[in-house]
Amino acid sequence: MKRQKGLTLISWLAIIAVVLFNAIIALNVVPVYLNDHSVKTLMQNLENDSAVKGATPKKIKQIITKRLRINNIYSINKDHITIKKYKDNYLITIEYEPRGKLVGTLDYIVSFKHEARIPIR
């Protein structure tokens, strides 16, 4: 007994089960965060974009929707985009909750919210 080293078969099976469960979670949730990173980058670039400065709210929504489609993000639609007009700028907010299945009846819900301010003129 003093010379025995390593794990038993049951220990290895338990470790493999935990690793597989974490891999399944990662394979389902990581793409959601990658899409969110694209949305975050889009919103940051929107603040300095000359195409949206001076545009109407409808035109701004069209520009955002078009850029989302270019980045293959189809989980966000026009209903998730809100534009509020203030004295000298527009506050654009994208708020959405992607949902999906993990395993069996186990689901995930992730909530994201991004804002950008666009000068009116």
- Taking 70 as the threshold, does the pLDDT of residue 79 lie above it? yes
Question: Given pLDDT bands bounded at 50, 70 and 90, which one contains residue 92?
Answer: very high
What's the distance, CA 53 to chain centroid?
A: 25
pLDDT in tens, 53-63: 888 899 999 99
Contact indicator for 7, 18 with CB cutoff of 8 Å: no
**C-alpha to C-alpha distances, 57 to 25, 74, 81, 107, nearest whole angstrom:** 38, 20, 10, 35
Structure token pair of residue 64: 């955002």
Structure token pair of residue 121: 């003129």
pLDDT in tens, 11-39: 889 999 999 999 999 999 999 999 999 99
The residue behind tokens 């899409």 is: 35
Q: Would you list the domain boundaries of the chain?
A: 32-119
Mean pLDDT computed over 83-112: 92
